[in-house]
Structure 1
Amino acid sequence: MQIEISARKRVLQGKGASRRLRGSGVVPGIIYGGENPAQAIELDHNNLYHKLKLEAFHASILSMDVEGQKERVLLRDIQMHPFKLQVLHIDFQRVDPNKKIHMKVPLHFINADIAPGVKLSGGIVSHVLTELDISCLPKDLPEFISVDLAELASGNTLHLSDLKLPEGVEIPAITKGDNLPVATIVIPRAVAAEEAAAVVAAGDIPTTVQKKEASKEGEKKDSGKKDGGKKK
């Protein structure tokens, strides 16, 4: 999916000028990287704010139109107001089609409902990671990485090396030897307690009452032995 965004060249710069832009519903920003010099830009706040709600906007090659001149860029940084729903500043980086890029892309977890650890053991999937740092050429950049949980059993963990990556995509962490956990299935305490109670009911583990009865029987036997010894 190709996402397009429009911007204008920003002439006035500085804190005062940026403050006036924000007051008029405009977001100051910048495009940098590549062979061309950095370009200060301004964007319509409402249009930008709605695009920021799209997951793909954060992990896709964007088509930036600056007064009729189109460039391929990546979203690199956003500055938000501390408590208002307002974008204060935004940074974009130009893309070189022949150079690899590093991006964080979201993880989409699938088949959790049929995972043995969920379906058979009543477990809950714990997402250790929700996004992944990848490296690839711009043409190979995926909008997301799918994480298949169909075979994940209770107590098992899915690691980076278990992921199926699109062609041309690499995970720098694995190259460095960091095979990080991605997801695992944990058993809730209530489910674990029910399982323990079921085992107890089956007689595999003696209950407190059974232990007390066994203790009393032992005391009786010991008492009988002592009495028998005195009669002799």
Structure 2
Amino acid sequence: MVQQTDLAIAPRTAMGRAVKHLRQQGIIPANIYGHGQPSVAVQVDALAFDRLRRAKNTRNFLTLRMPDGPNQTALVRHVQSDAISGQTLHIDFFRVDLQERLAVKIPLKVTGESYAVKNLDGVLLHLLDALEVECKAEEMVEYIDVDISSLNEMDDIIHAKDIKLPANYTLATDPEEPVIKVSPPRAAALPEEEVQVAAPEAGTPEQTPIAGE
């Protein structure tokens, strides 16, 4: 199961254009929604959230700690960032009941060794980096293993349906979706191009312009 990480939050009263001043103070506006409950406006310390992102803990369940309210378990559903500066502009948190089933994307982790890659100089192509699955929130894992030891020949492919899922998981990705493939080395895949220079036909005299023409 993925770890739970604490994150302090506080009620937010600044709305609309006023949130610009929050960001200037190092505070990120956010909302908590889900489970048929009203959306709640909150704010998060930017440095604290950036530490979570650098540690890749934003994929974990978060225990959102409100100073004068009950703690809430949530997932980061969406992060809006500035396209140029990368500054986090807004966060959406989704309330989670650990007993409910969720539709989530879980990253893939390659394990094992491919004969085609090791001995035939094949190139491993990662066509999909995460699987969409349904599972209980409390049973959600950080990643799903993909064993590549079955890739023995060039152009062998592992499809989504070939990946062993944890117990009680349901695959939501198209079962026929290619996930990993072994491709021939680029030099072998591209045949040598024969460059032919056209020679003048035999018996064709080289024509020289006649003065005055």
User: TM class, shorter-chain normalised?
Assistant: 0.7 to 0.9
The corresponding residue for 2:198 is: none
The count of corresponding residues between Structure 1 and Structure 2 is 188
The corresponding residue for 2:114 is: 115
Paired residues for 1:196-211 under 5 Å: none
Q: Percent same amino acid among aligned pairs?
A: 28
The corresponding residue for 2:157 is: 157
- 1:146 to partner: Cα distance: 1.0
Distance 1:37 1:164 in 2: 38
The corresponding residue for 2:201 is: none
Distance 2:159 2:92 in 1: 32
The corresponding residue for 1:130 is: 129
Moved over 6 A (4+): none
Distance 1:80 1:93 in 2: 18
Q: Is the 8 A contact 2:131 2:173 kept in 1?
A: no
The corresponding residue for 2:167 is: 167
Distance 2:157 2:103 in 1: 26
> Per the alignment, in what secondary structure is the counterpart of residue 190 of structure 1?
helix
Q: Is the 8 A contact 2:131 2:160 kept in 1?
A: no
TM-score, structure 2 normalization: 0.82
Distance 2:170 2:62 in 1: 21
Structure 2 counterpart of 1:93, one-letter code: F
The corresponding residue for 1:4 is: 6
- 1:56 to partner: Cα distance: 4.2
The corresponding residue for 2:45 is: 44
Q: Is the 8 A contact 2:99 2:138 kept in 1?
A: no
Distance 1:179 1:65 in 2: 42
CA RMSD for the aligned pairs? 1.9
Which segments of 5 or more consecutive residues in structure 1 lack a partner in the other structure?
198-232
> Per the alignment, in what secondary structure is the counterpart of residue 74 of structure 1?
strand
When you count helix as a share of all residues, which structure comes out higher? 1
Distance 1:61 1:191 in 2: 46
Paired residues for 1:52-67 under 5 Å: 52-58=53-59, 60-67=60-67
Distance 2:159 2:40 in 1: 41
Q: In terms of Rg, which structure is larger?
A: 1
TM-score, structure 1 normalization: 0.75
Which segments of 5 or more consecutive residues in structure 2 lack a partner in the other structure?
193-213
